[in-house]
């Protein structure tokens, strides 16, 4: 999943330059905007450029038809439903039955998510590895990533200031939003089984 996104972005850079050259003007809308008229102009731009070389079977441009792209209700690790950013996405159903959605951040949002590459984020990506099939839960089958100037970065890296690993991945009330980086870089999902993990300490449950 992560390799697919990273490779797709490197190919997009060859064709269009880095994300800062794409003309992303900011967040398209807010969650209370009308799903009938909402058009994710910036998110569509990101989606179409990132997925140019990825086989898709369906594109969804607004909240009304997102279920056709494999997105229904989404849940946090603590079991609560994610009701935020319901219609902020441009989505796609991929040939392998996974689903991917994009939301633009850009100049009109709050693009700073941390240091280094995260000091300016152009978009966020939500990737569901099995589409509409359950559990539809963050860091079980749904994972979040940032689109930065030169790379795709998973949520929850050590230099991120928005979703810290300890708060947003571990514990019974965790949302699970900060676990993707752990899975990508550490290579396990032990965050589902114990709470004493840390980047600089324990990397596996007993």
pLDDT attached to residue 32: 55
124: left (phi over 0), alpha (psi -120 to 50) or beta: beta
Is the residue at 174 inside a domain? no
Three-state DSSP class for 5?
Answer: helix
Is the residue at 88 inside a domain? yes
Is the residue at 181 inside a domain? no
Is the residue at 179 inside a domain? no
Is the residue at 15 inside a domain? yes
Show the domain range for 72.
2-162
Is the residue at 168 inside a domain? no
Q: How many domains does the chain have?
A: 1
Q: Measure the CA–CA gap between 186 and 160, rounded to whole angstroms.
A: 16
pLDDT attached to residue 112: 86
Q: What is the mean pLDDT of the chain?
A: 88
Please identify every stretch of the chain with a pLDDT value under 50, giving residue numbers as ranges: none
Three-state DSSP class for 192?
Answer: helix
pLDDT attached to residue 55: 94
Is the residue at 175 inside a domain? no
pLDDT attached to residue 33: 54
Global pTM value: 0.92
């Amino acid at each position: 999943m992560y390799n697919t996104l990273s490779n797709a972005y490197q190919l997009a850079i060859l064709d269009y330059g880095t994300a800062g050259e794409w003309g992303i003007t900011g967040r398209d809308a807010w969650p209370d905007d009308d799903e009938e008229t909402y058009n994710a102009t910036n998110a569509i731009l990101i989606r179409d450029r990132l997925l140019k070389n990825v086989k898709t079977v369906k594109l969804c441009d607004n909240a009304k038809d997102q279920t056709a792209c494999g997105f229904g209700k989404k849940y946090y690790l603590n079991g609560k439903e994610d009701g935020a950013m319901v219609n902020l996405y441009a989505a796609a159903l991929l040939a392998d039955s996974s689903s991917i959605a994009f939301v633009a951040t850009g100049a009109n949002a709050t693009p700073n998510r941390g240091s280094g590459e995260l000091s300016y984020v152009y978009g966020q990506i939500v990737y569901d590895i099995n589409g509409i099939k359950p559990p539809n839960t963050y860091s079980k089958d749904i994972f979040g990533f940032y689109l930065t100037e030169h790379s795709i970065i998973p949520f929850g890296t050590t230099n991120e200031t928005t979703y810290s690993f300890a708060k947003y991945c571990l514990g019974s009330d965790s949302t699970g939003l900060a676990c993707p980086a752990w899975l990508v870089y550490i290579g396990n999902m032990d965050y589902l089984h114990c709470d004493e993990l840390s980047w600089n300490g324990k990397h596996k449950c007993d």
